[in-house]
Each structure stands twice: as structure tokens, then as C-alpha cells.
Amino acid sequence: MPASQDPNNDAKSTASTAKKRYFGTDGIRGAVGQAPITPDFMLKLGWAAGRVFADANGARGKILIGKDTRISGYMFEAALEAGVAAAGVDIGLLGPMPTPAIAYLTRTLRARAGIVISASHNSFEDNGIKFFSGTGTKLPDEIEHAIEAELEKDVSVVRPELIGKASRVNDAAGRYIEFCKSTVGQNLRLNGMKIVVDCAHGSTYHIAPSVFTELGASVISQGVSPDGLNINRDAGSTSPQVLADRVLKEGADLGVAFDGDGDRVVMVDHLGNVLDGDEILYIIARDRLRQDIEFGGVVGTQMSNLGLQLGLEALNVPFTRTPVGDRYVMQEMIQRGWSLGGESSGHVICLDLSSTGDGIISALQALAAVVHGGKPLAELRAQMNKLPQKMINVRINRGTELVGNAPIVAAVHAVEAELGARGRVLLRPSGTEPVLRVMVEGEDAAEVSRLAEQLAEAVSAEVGSTG
């Protein structure tokens, strides 16, 4: 079975995180009130991080703490603050801020690290923790291992005169708004453009509308009334049809939607068509080619639409895939020296502009392409032929071995033979539930659906769950 279709490909690629007790591929996440997403653990986590990031020479350092708008963020912010202070490190409190803003501020305020309290696109019942290094990038494995090693120790408090002090960073929002605007240069104007902006009742609610308004757009805001419980509820990038309906109702030029923590973006054109991360990536790459801006190539994932790959190949732009997860996309971008990458889910990374995926900055890059090209978003979208894709989840028993399963390999090869060079097959185990994701792509939607059902039935018959 080719590597791109190896069911255990993700597991191999996450070997570096397999031995960690708490950290996954994107920090620590779970249901509020269930270990480890509890106040006592967060206090200890803050202490452990403070110990790791404390200056060995005794100089006072600072760790920034920001959060999204879910109600449990207040509780965990206080617990983390106490833990960091007990380790003798100062704290800068950012309040509700997009995840990429926390990465940016960690870097520009010269903090030792940044802590994000967020469960991204999940509902309010979940929460989690992400860390950024002093350079605004996700932590390397060795630092995560070091934090976990400290978590095994008993909490101790530094001498009273060395306890960390907390202060609020009052100009955090203004700093980030100005940074976002700076990424499109001084001359870009969105004057005359009517834009619907959906903030998912999340952390962009007081940021994104201001960015687009200050660039000259007429902004219609929705999803900007967080109450601690409504984050991502029927709003934002996980409910794009809500945005599409509003764009059509308002007769807007386009719409932009973010997820709860602001690192994902989807867009909608004036016809109500939803653009995912693949299409946004393609539009940005094509515009950079037009401007003769060097970006090397584009990094996608196993889930990136084949239409993105074929469209970039037609432009002679190199393209490569990684396992699902922006962590792996970023690693590949750095290794290759490329500045564009992302996921179809809406994580788009412009590494020459930001140290992490940033929904607002990615949306601005696509809007800049609209302005530069003098064409509506719908026309730019049509330049990439997104192929029909069908995914079916097949329940399997936990621990089921898939590599080398001859009947499954034969079933995959049979589907690939029918698709030819203009199609693709992917089998990918879920990282969170006993499910194998069976995905088929091709040019004909009916054929893709038929072949996906055929392959799913073959997989289920061989390794389907009996429970």
C-alpha cells in the first residue's frame, strides 16, 4: 500500500508524541472537569511551565496568558496564573485574544512563552492549553517533555520576594490589529467592499471587524456576542452555511468566518459558495506568483483536495503532503524553506508574515488577491477545479492492525485502478475514536460516491467493529 494510503501513516508520524502523557499534537485538550482539564492540574501545569521557562541566571522572565471566550477560561486563567507566579515568573494577562495574536505578542513583547487557553473549534464544554515559545512557534518535543517531567514533581513555591507578579497587557488588541493591517502594506484599501464577518462568538469578536473596517470595508458583523457558552454554536468556520446565507441576504461581496480561537478561516463568495483552506491557499499562491513573490512551494496534508495539487502543478508550483495537523505542515514548511501551507479545514499558514496559522492574516491575503486582480472572489475561486470528495467513517475495533491486510490492499488497488491518475484514495485512522476514515476523490461525483461506498464496505467486512 503506498505511503499516502498507509492506514497507520499518522501513527508513524506522531511517534515523537506517543510517549507523552498529556501533550498531543496540538497541546492538551479535553472535557472541562475531567482530568486533565481541571483547576488543580492547570495550577500545576502553570508551575511546571514556569519552572521550565524560568531564567537559569535568576533574571525575571514573563509568560503571557491569553484565552478564548468560553466560560471555563476564567477558571483556568486564574489557576495558571497562580502556578506560574509560584514558580517565580511574571505573568502578562492578555484576556480574550486569538491564538495567533498570542503567538505574535509573545514574540514582540519578548516573553519567555505564551499560553493559550482554548479548545479551538470545539464547543464550550471542552477546553485546552497550547503553548508558544518565545519566538511565537509551537514548542518542540523536548520542551514538552521537560514540562511533563516537572509535572511529576510536587509543587514548591519560590521565596516570597521572588513570587511572580501579574499585570494586564491593556494594549494587546490594538497592537494585534495594527500588525494584521501591516501584513497587506500601506496601500491596500478595501473601500467599497461589503463584507460579512462571522467571529463564532470567539476570540476574534473584538479584533476582526476592526481590522476590515479600518482598511475601508463596510463590515456586517455576526457571531460577536460571546456569553461564555455560545462559542462556535451555529456560527463561524464550522457552520459556513450560516455565513453563506447572510452574504446572500445582505448582497455582500463576500464573507469571512473564523473559528473560536481565530486560527482557522473559511470564506464565502457573493454567490454563496464556501471556500475552504485549499481554495484560499490556491488563491494566495496564484497572487504571489503574479506579484513575483518567492514562496518556494505549498505544503498541504493527506486531506488536501487533489484539485489543489493539480492546480498548483499547472502553475509549476511544487506541492507536498504531510499527515493531518498544522504542526506537521509547519515542520515541513520550515524544513523545505517554503512559506505557504495549510489544511482544508482552514488552517492557512503564511510563514513569511506570521509564525503560526492565522485566520485574519490569511483572509487579508485572499482579499489582497481580489483587490490586486480586480476580480471577484467567485472568479478567483473558479480558477481551481476542486474535485468531488467523499468520506465515510468505518467503525473498527481499537488496536486493529491494518498494515499488510491483503483484502484491504486489494480493495484499494481496485478503486485506484478505476480512478486512474485523476483520483485519489486515502485510509486514515481517527486519532480520537475507533474509526477508520475512508476517503475517495475523483472527477465524477457519482463515481466517487460509488467507489467510496464500495471501499468502505470492503473495509468494514474485513476489520469492521463487532461491538
- Helix axes of 99-108 and 359-373: crossing angle, nearest 10 degrees: 100
pLDDT on residue 357: 95
Beta bridge partners of residue 66, listed in sequence order: 95, 116
Torsion 202-131-170-218 (CA) sign: negative
The superfamily CATH assigns to domain 389-463 is Alpha-D-phosphohexomutase, C-terminal domain (3.30.310.50)
Domain extents in the chain? 15-170, 176-381, 389-463
pLDDT on residue 2: 38
Cell 479584533 belongs to residue: 207
Q: Which residues contact 233 (CB under 8 A, 6 or more apart)?
A: 123, 124, 201
For 211, 219, 230, the CA distances from 246, given in Å and listed in that order, are: 20, 12, 19
pLDDT on residue 56: 64
* Distance between CA atoms of residues 123 and 126, nearest Å: 6
Strands 113-117 and 218-222: unpaired
For 66, 115, 175, 222, the CA distances from 61, given in Å and listed in that order, are: 17, 14, 21, 39
pLDDT tens over the chain, length 467 residues: 333 344 334 433 444 445 889 998 789 999 999 999 999 999 999 999 999 999 766 678 999 999 999 999 999 999 999 999 999 999 999 999 999 999 999 999 999 999 999 999 999 999 999 999 999 999 999 999 999 999 999 999 999 999 999 999 999 999 999 999 999 999 999 999 999 999 999 999 999 999 999 999 999 999 999 999 999 999 999 999 999 999 999 999 999 999 999 999 999 999 999 999 999 999 999 999 999 999 999 999 999 999 999 999 999 999 999 998 888 999 999 999 999 999 999 999 999 999 999 999 999 999 999 999 999 999 999 999 999 999 999 998 876 777 778 999 999 999 999 999 889 999 988 766 788 999 999 999 999 999 999 999 999 998 887 55
* Distance between CA atoms of residues 193 and 191, nearest Å: 6
* Distance between CA atoms of residues 55 and 85, nearest Å: 14
Angle in degrees, CA 41, 16, 98, rounded to 5: 55
Render the burial of 17-37: b for 16+ CB within 10 Å, e for the rest.
eeebebbbbbbbbbebeeebb
Radius of gyration of the chain (CA): 23
For 26, 202, 284, 382, 446, the CA distances from 225, given in Å and listed in that order, are: 27, 8, 31, 34, 41
For 146, 149, 150, the CA distances from 153, given in Å and listed in that order, are: 12, 7, 5
Q: What is the pTM of this model?
A: 0.91
Neighbour-count burial of 398, counting CB atoms closer than 10 A to its CB (0-12 exposed, 13-18 middle, 19+ buried): exposed
Of 239, 307, 246, residue with least CA distance to 272: 246
Same-fold call for 15-170 versus 389-463: no
Taking the domain 176-381, which CATH number applies? Answer: 3.40.120.10
Grid cell, residue 147, equals 514540562
The CATH number for 15-170, chosen from 1.10.240.10, 3.40.120.10, 3.30.360.10, 1.20.1280.50, is 3.40.120.10
pLDDT on residue 466: 59
Report, as residue numbers or ranges, the catalytic residues.
Answer: 120
* Distance between CA atoms of residues 97 and 113, nearest Å: 15
- Return the DSSP state at 409: H
pLDDT on residue 85: 98
- Helix axes of 306-314 and 277-290: crossing angle, nearest 10 degrees: 10
Question: 338 near 296, Cβ under 8 Å?
Answer: yes
pLDDT on residue 432: 64
* Distance between CA atoms of residues 55 and 151, nearest Å: 18
pLDDT on residue 269: 98
